[in-house]
Chain A
Amino acid sequence: MTVAENLFENLRLELRRGCLTLAVLAQLRQEYYGYTLRKALADRGLEIDESTLYPLLRRLETQGLLASEWREEEKRNKRFYRLSSDGELMFTKLLEEWQAINASIDATIDSNR
């Protein structure tokens, strides 16, 4: 990997990090377990590595933004996640913030054209 490619990869990961949390919170307004959540996000064009998504779910749950429960489905115990009430509030705020940033970036790009 060249220096430029390496730099791009680092910046891309940095850019994605915050967006992934928002996407996961958005998707978990419905209940999912880890693998189906990953598939649902991938279907919407957002591929997330297993090693990123599954620990992220744990972290968000520890922070009180997600609620989870073990339940049997298709003869297998799975841990299902959904947005908690604190998570819903946080999601609304983060979404506003993200939309504002998006609007600012769009306006900046438009003004420089």
Chain B
Amino acid sequence: MELLDRYLEAVKKHLPWQRQDDIIAELRANLEAQLEDKEAALSRPLTARECEDWLKQLGSPLQMAAHYNPQQYLIGPSVFPIYLIVLKISLSWSLIVCLIVSGVEILTRAPSLVGVVEILLRLPGVLMTAAAWVTLIFAILEVAVKHNYIQLPPEVVPTGAWSPGSLPPLGMNAVQGKNARTFSKTVAEAIFGFLFLVWLLLIPNYPWMWLGPGAAFLDIGRGSGAPFQLAPVWVQFYWCMVALSVWQLAWRCLELYRGTWQKAQPAPNLVMKAIGLIPLILLLTVHDHVFVQLSHPALDQVRYGATVDIINKSIFWSFLGILVIAVMQMAWDLGRMGLTAWRKRLAAQ
């Protein structure tokens, strides 16, 4: 029958070449015997339509051939768990690095929406490249493991030998519930918060406590004749820091008084962190990034002008770096908070 021959020819194309003739000969014998049985039952040859229906039942040539091939995979079950872990780590780090670079680029370029969109559109490409490299490396690893060129350590092989003794110990958080804090830790936070506040309040009278020997180069409103002086923005920054420290100290004391230090409070902590960004933003938005200026510009511009520029740029970039890290940490906390809330909602359903 012509249709059967065409079917078998199509199956053959998808079979491994070493075995295709043998498989097709056997398949032909079986299918022809089946066809004869069908025709004998009907006492007539199958019509073209009936033959089509019958071949349809057998499945497409590709499907039929696929059953004869061994199970194929790019990354097998022994390597896959470790692949997944490495992929997650690689993607997370690629995302972090890409966000930092993008953030710096956005802040340093002339602000334009097109520029920002262009930078952000690079992100999927970077992530896909990272994923492709990890996949390629693990596909090569799979081939090497399959052919016994290398052996995976028993800890990463699902069926490999491992010792329960090698399991990591439970952390304090796991024992007492997530984000649980001890009494001693809260007391220590309150004590160090108080000491920090004292230190902060002493700075205006004892600037060396902040700048060390560098304080000798600063004219802090006493006519010392030092060549540099702080820009007015530091006064606002200072009082913001004092207010924040007082608030944090009050918060810790309140927790101790109420006995609520063990309670995980992700939302208030996040708000506290967000408010903590205000002094940084205050500094970074200062006009022309002037943090230190000359006490006597007319006299010292030639001598110290370049030095002041370097100091101002260094301060700007340092605080920008701190802001980027703080924002990323907040985004991470926010993500974890969202994930916890989502899990709780799922569990409640």
Residues of A within 8 A of B31 (CB): 35, 50
Contact B29 A78 (CB under 8 A): yes
B25 in the interface (beta carbon within 8 A): yes
Contact B27 A54 (CB under 8 A): yes
Interface-located stretch among B59-67, B139-147, B191-199, B315-323:
B59-67
Contact B26 A54 (CB under 8 A): yes
Residues of B within 8 A of A55 (CB): 67-68
B116 in the interface (beta carbon within 8 A): no
B1 in the interface (beta carbon within 8 A): no
Task: Encode B1-44 as 1/0 by CB contact (under 8 A) with A.
Answer: 00000000000000000000001011101111110010000000
Question: How long is the Cα–Cα vector from A77 to B24 in the complex, in angstroms?
Answer: 12
Residues of A within 8 A of B63 (CB): 51
Residues of B within 8 A of A49 (CB): 58-59
Residues of A within 8 A of B32 (CB): 76
Contact A34 B26 (CB under 8 A): yes
Residues of B within 8 A of A34 (CB): 26, 29-30
Shortest Cβ distance from residue B160 to the other chain A in the assembled complex, whole angstroms: 24
- Given A58-B23, A58-B68, residue A51 in contact with residue B33 (CB < 8 A): no
Question: How long is the Cα–Cα vector from A39 to B36 in the complex, in angstroms?
Answer: 13
Interface bracket on A: 10 to 19
Contact A50 B33 (CB under 8 A): no
Question: How long is the Cα–Cα vector from A49 to B63 in the complex, in angstroms?
Answer: 12
Contact A76 B33 (CB under 8 A): yes
> Which positions 1-58 of chain A face chain B at CB distance < 8 Å?
33-36, 38-39, 49-52, 54-55, 58
A79 in the interface (beta carbon within 8 A): yes
Shortest beta-carbon contacts, A-B, top 7? A55-B67, A34-B30, A35-B30, A35-B33, A55-B68, A79-B26, A78-B29
Contact B30 A50 (CB under 8 A): yes
Question: How long is the Cα–Cα vector from A58 to B58 in the complex, in angstroms?
Answer: 17
> Which positions 45-69 of chain B face chain A at CB distance < 8 Å?
58-59, 63-64, 67-68
Residues of A within 8 A of B33 (CB): 33, 35-36, 76, 78
Q: Secondary structure of the A side of the interface?
A: helix
Shortest Cβ distance from residue B26 to the other chain A in the assembled complex, whole angstroms: 5
Residues of A within 8 A of B26 (CB): 34, 54, 78-79
Contact B25 A77 (CB under 8 A): yes
Question: How long is the Cα–Cα vector from A39 to B212 in the complex, in angstroms?
Answer: 95
Q: Could you say which of B27, B29, B31, B32 has the most chain A C-beta atoms within 10 Å of its C-beta?
A: B29
Residues of B within 8 A of A52 (CB): 67
Task: Encode A59-84 as 1/0 by CB contact (under 8 A) with B.
Answer: 00000000000000000111100000
Question: How long is the Cα–Cα vector from A68 to B256 in the complex, in angstroms?
Answer: 82
Shortest Cβ distance from residue B267 to the other chain A in the assembled complex, whole angstroms: 37
Shortest Cβ distance from residue B3 to the other chain A in the assembled complex, whole angstroms: 16
Residues of A within 8 A of B59 (CB): 49, 51
Shortest Cβ distance from residue A92 to the other chain B in the assembled complex, whole angstroms: 25
| Cross-chain pairs A/B with CB under 8 angstroms, 18 sampled | A33-B29, A34-B30, A36-B33, A49-B58, A49-B59, A50-B31, A50-B58, A50-B64, A51-B63, A54-B26, A54-B67, A55-B67, A58-B68, A76-B32, A77-B29, A78-B29, A78-B30, A78-B33
Question: How long is the Cα–Cα vector from A55 to B68 in the complex, in angstroms?
Answer: 5
Residues of B within 8 A of A58 (CB): 23, 68
Given contacts A36-B33, A76-B29, A76-B32, 15 further A-B contacts (CB under 8 A): A34-B29, A34-B30, A35-B31, A35-B37, A49-B59, A52-B67, A54-B26, A54-B27, A54-B30, A54-B67, A55-B67, A55-B68, A77-B25, A79-B25, A79-B29
Question: How long is the Cα–Cα vector from A36 to B26 in the complex, in angstroms?
Answer: 13
